[in-house]
Amino acid sequence: MADIVDIAVGNDAFKTLVTAVQVAGLVETLKSPGPFTVFAPNDEAFAKLPPGTIQTLVQNIPQLTRILKYHVVSGKLTKDDLAKLGTVTSVEGSTIKIDCSEGFEIKNATVLAADIDADNGVIHVIDTVILPG
């Protein structure tokens, strides 16, 4: 089975995310055994950011890394697992609110595709880049 990075690289909807992970130096981490739960913004989610945001983040690696780590949780957590928890702590260290009462939302993002199984975890595709704080 493919790992989290291989799945993202193999999907054209994650070009911006893959580039950001490469620039931030997180490829090896996300290829490690984990397991990890990744809330993966698709390219349309990155396109919602204000103009120039992505370029600014690429020039500020610590901030980019912090934002990317906010999209990752230790452990393999399916939608059902997350629904029971209500909140999780990202590897960045901040809490993320989970709401499965009407659909499936992670903080202010809607999950477009849940429970994509990877060798080292699970991916949930989201429609918005989530930010700590």
CATH code (residue 54): 2.30.180.10
Domain membership of residue 74 (yes or no) is: yes
User: Does a structural domain hold residue 75?
Assistant: yes
Work out how many domains the chain is built from and give that number.
1
The CA-based angle 95-98-99, given to 5 degrees, is 150
Mean pLDDT of 74-97: 97
The dihedral sign for the CA sequence 61, 67, 92, 30: negative
As to burial, measured by CB atoms within 10 angstroms (0-12 exposed, 13-18 middle, 19+ buried), residue 62 is exposed
Q: Is residue 133 part of a domain?
A: no
Residue 69 sits in which domain range?
Answer: 4-126
Q: What integer is the mean pLDDT of 103-119?
A: 97
Q: Return the number of other C-beta atoms located less than 10 Å from residue 123's C-beta.
A: 21
- At 133, the pLDDT band (50, 70, 90 cuts) reads confident
101 φ, ψ to 5°?
A: -70, -40
Per the domain annotation, does 84 fall within a domain? yes
pTM, entire model: 0.96
